[in-house]
Amino acid sequence: MRIAVEQELKSLPHNLIVPIAQNQPNAPVFERIAQWTTLSPEEIQQDFTAEAGEVQLLYAKQGKIFLLGLGNEPDAAAILKAFRSFSYKQKKKLSSEVGILFSDTTLKLPLVRQVEASLNGFVLGTYQIGQFKTEEVEKHPLTTDDCTLTIFASANATELLAAARRGEATAETQMSIFDLVNAPSNKKTPQHLAEWALASGKAYGYRVEVWDKKQIEEVGLHALLAVNRGSEYPPAFIIMEYRPTAAAEGIPKVGLVGKGVTFDTGGLSIKPSTNMHYMKSDMGGAAAVFGTIELAAKLQLPVHLIGVVPSTDNSVDALSIKPSDVINSYSGKTIEVIDTDAEGRLILADGLNYMVRHFQPEVLINLATLTGSAVRTFGYHAAALFSNNDELTAALTKAANATGERLWAMPMWDVYKDDIKSDVADVRNFSGKPVAGAIGAAKFLEAFINNHSNWAHFDIAGVAFTDSEFASQKSATAYGVRLLIEYLSNLATEK
């Protein structure tokens, strides 16, 4: 897509989009728009109240003008959402010459942020979920070869162009993550995840190493192997490492670990069938790690990132682990498996322990679609955050608020340690009680981080896969990518 920045709007493009916030009822922009049409500013405002997502199409001689409502004092998330839904729903009315007029100088959100969020949303709205459809679907005008998008705004053109490109790059990575998470498990084995990472590493210049089953056995990732016992497909252990190409001294080293369960049947503690098809998304944590590293590499963020993704599916077989089995782990701790459906914490135990022992990151973050308990607590609107460090909690919360990828900090009190006490092994993977499930899972993970003092665990079970305009069923959100990129950008500038 060709992106241009113009300080002034001299002639109307075929499609002009004018984002308008609600806090400016008599904005001068209505007078400008009126000049291009046969309407008066008052008439335009009669039918358009700038509610979030509201679209009003006006026909001018030279083209179409779309007024896009942003609601009251919109933040980046509101702008992104309005543009995404506009782009997706109005694609049939758009053509390949598009302009966006940023006219509101009173918004609290800086203009570069507005431009970035708009482009991010606009490009995301080109997403098409039917990756396995055999019939050709109509192209979104923004994805055609001759598409030009012009940003009309009176500010530093270089900065605005960079912001627009950042928004576009973010959306492209997010859409690649959508495809990965939306793919069914027969098309998305651990090997496929590894191939995705290898291809991304090659394209964007970061190191990717993939261990096969033999290497996983040699290294002794016993908990990953235990979960994989019931599977038709071998496990994969994926290690990624990104450093900026320009030598940067003293940059922070951040370790990211993601749950890569390509399908979770529950194992012998099998899940009910009603919503089991959604369990193809049980690698949403891995996807967030992939997307964050890819985008950090694209943007050349001045941070040193290590990513670790243990991957397998959780299936039913004569060889599957059984409730009561005692398994070993990479850390050396033995684990009593009370419930085979609590498999994510088992593979993460190995992923986290490998990460802290081999890479000693200054910050340790893991993401996982870990518990139904997190879904029952927050529904589909926020991730549960568990951390042993208040500064890290504050920094992640700040990034969450700035991006609209909500999170809420949960307690990690040691009274919950009883939940993982086992009679026969060092720990057990489930308390057996239908209470405090997300906290119990976090306490389990904590047992494998070797007292790392700057750790955060995101339980993203409710937010990785939700309803959206893209599909009638739930689909991928790429939750975590924007949040972590925001966090890492802040971390880099603070250092």
Tell which one of 168, 282, 336, 350 touches Zn ion (CB under 5 A).
282
Q: Which of 221, 460, 413, 214 is nearest to 335 (CA)?
A: 221
160: which residues sit within 8 A by CB, 6+ positions away? 5, 111, 112, 115, 151, 153
Cα angle vertex 306, ends 302, 308, to 5°? 155
Closer to Zn ion at the Cβ: 168 or 343?
Answer: 343
Tell which one of 54, 343, 419, 486 touches ligand BES (CB under 6 A).
343
Tell which one of 233, 430, 458, 470 touches ligand BES (CB under 6 A).
430
Closer to ligand BES at the Cβ: 27 or 427?
Answer: 427
Contact 448, 429 (CB under 8 A): no
Count of residues of this chain found to bind ligand BES when the rule CB under 6 A is applied: 16
Piece of the chain touching ligand BES by CB under 6 A; list 23-31, 99-107, 134-142, 370-378: 370-378
The CA distance from 284 to 189, in Å, is 14
Closer to ligand BES at the Cβ: 109 or 438?
Answer: 438
* Phi and psi torsions of 124, nearest 5°: -60, -35
Q: How far is CA 220 from CA 213, 345, 386, 391, 448, in A?
A: 10, 17, 27, 34, 15
Piece of the chain touching ligand BES by CB under 6 A; list 4-12, 39-47, 367-375, 401-409: 367-375
Q: Does 104 bind Zn ion (CB under 5 A)?
A: no
**Catalytic residue status for 271:** yes
Piece of the chain touching ligand BES by CB under 6 A; list 286-294, 336-344, 357-365, 481-489: 336-344
Q: Is 104 helix (H, G, I), strand (E, B) or coil?
A: coil
Closer to Zn ion at the Cβ: 63 or 285?
Answer: 285
- What is the nearest approach in angstroms of ligand BES to the Cβ of residue 284? 8
Tell which one of 205, 252, 323, 372 touches ligand BES (CB under 6 A).
372
Signed CA dihedral, 390, 455, 181, 91: sign only: positive
Q: Which of 41, 3, 5, 2 is nearest to 20 (CA)?
A: 41
Contact 257, 351 (CB under 8 A): yes
Q: Does 264 bind Zn ion (CB under 5 A)?
A: yes
- Which helix (H) or strand (E) is 427 found in, with range? strand 427-428
Piece of the chain touching ligand BES by CB under 6 A; list 28-36, 47-55, 191-199, 338-346: 338-346
- What is the nearest approach in angstroms of ligand BES to the Cβ of residue 278? 7
**Count of residues in the chain:** 495
Q: How far apart are the first and last CA of the chain?
A: 35
Tell which one of 118, 176, 366, 371 touches ligand BES (CB under 6 A).
371
Q: Does 336 bind ligand BES (CB under 6 A)?
A: no
Among 345, 443, 474, 482, the active-site one is 345
Q: Which does 430 bind (CB under 5 to 8 A by kind): ligand BES, Zn ion, none?
A: ligand BES
Among 32, 271, 333, 406, the active-site one is 271
DSSP per-residue string spanning 210-254? EE-HHHHHHHT-HHHHHHHTT-SS--EEEEEEE--SS--TT--EE
Which two three-digit tokens encode residue 379? 């529904």
Piece of the chain touching ligand BES by CB under 6 A; list 197-205, 302-310, 365-373, 480-488: 365-373
Tell which one of 344, 361, 440, 462 touches Zn ion (CB under 5 A).
344
Q: Does 479 bind ligand BES (CB under 6 A)?
A: no
DSSP per-residue string spanning 436-489? SHHHHHHHHHHTTSTT-SSEEEEE-TTTSEEEETTEEEEEE--TTHHHHHHHHH
217: which residues sit within 8 A by CB, 6+ positions away? 225
Count of residues of this chain found to bind Zn ion when the rule CB under 5 A is applied: 6
Q: Does 282 bind ligand BES (CB under 6 A)?
A: yes
* Per-residue contact string for residues 203-242; x = within reach of Zn ion by CB under 5 A: ----------------------------------------
Which 262-281 residues touch ligand BES, going by CB under 6 A? Answer: 264
Contact 85, 66 (CB under 8 A): no
- What is the nearest approach in angstroms of ligand BES to the Cβ of residue 395? 26
Which 373-412 residues touch ligand BES, going by CB under 6 A? Answer: 373, 375
Contact set with ligand BES (CB under 6 A): 264, 282, 339, 341-344, 369-373, 375, 430, 437, 461
Give the catalytic positions in this structure: 271, 345
Contact set with Zn ion (CB under 5 A): 261, 264, 282, 341, 343-344
